[in-house]
Amino acid sequence: MKVIFATGNENKLREIRQITQGMDIEIISMKDAGYYTDVEETGSTFEENAYLKASAIAARCHLPTLADDSGLEIDYLGKEPGIYSSRYMGEDTPYPVKNAELLRRLEGVPDEQRTARFVCAVCYVRPDGSSETVRGTMEGRIAHKIAGSNGFGYDPIFFVPEKGCTSAELSPEDKNMISHRGKALRMMKEILEKEPGV
């Protein structure tokens, strides 16, 4: 099954390709499909924004389309940066700066109050406009210092208790096995397998 993945984020795309390897899904990037659109994320939930991105592209290319809207929720900060994760401190601010600022805002906060999660909503929009959305999460807590160079974004400050390290210290395979994105895409696979013609 061929689907467009409506994302401009190369790091996401790399993970999406790794996770869907061996699944009966051929992922076509917007770039490869010859489409580009920077959809305004005006929704108030991950699910709404994933739908906005997937439906905008599906309406233009008339092909089955997936999109991912994801982010980091830090409980102590009232679930910030949440749906604003890529826009936090400005879209062009480098992640080492964003991560250092979040660590600063949590200075002196004990481990039990540093709980956080990565959330990933994946939305599938059919050419007829109907849609399905799933959500995957990965629970953890905000580390006390930046560690690791794998992954992207907030991975270097996201401590995964079951692994005893940050998600930036995990191999891509280990991260994908437990990540919000891995979980959401495996749930979406179940839906896609039931699609007619697949």
Contact pattern for ligand ITT over residues 124 through 153, marking x by CB under 6 A:
---------------------------xxx
Which is catalytic among the residues 24, 68, 69, 111? 69
DSSP code, position 134: E
Quote the least distance from Cβ 150 to ligand ITT, whole Å.
10
Nearer residue to ligand ITT within complex by CB, 50 or 128: 50
Query: 69 catalytic, yes or no?
Result: yes
Interacting residue with ligand ITT among 52, 54, 66, 69 (CB under 6 A) = 69
| Nearest residue to 116 via CA among 73, 173, 80, 176 | 73
With binding defined as CB under 6 A, does residue 47 bind ligand ITT?
A: no
What is the distance between the alpha carbons of residues 196 and 198, in angstroms, rounded to a whole number?
A: 6
Interacting residue with ligand ITT among 20, 55, 65, 85 (CB under 6 A) = 85
Q: At 4, is the secondary structure helix, strand, or coil?
A: strand
Tally of CB atoms within 10 A around 113: 12
What the block records as the tokens of 191 is 């839906």
* Active-site residue set: 69
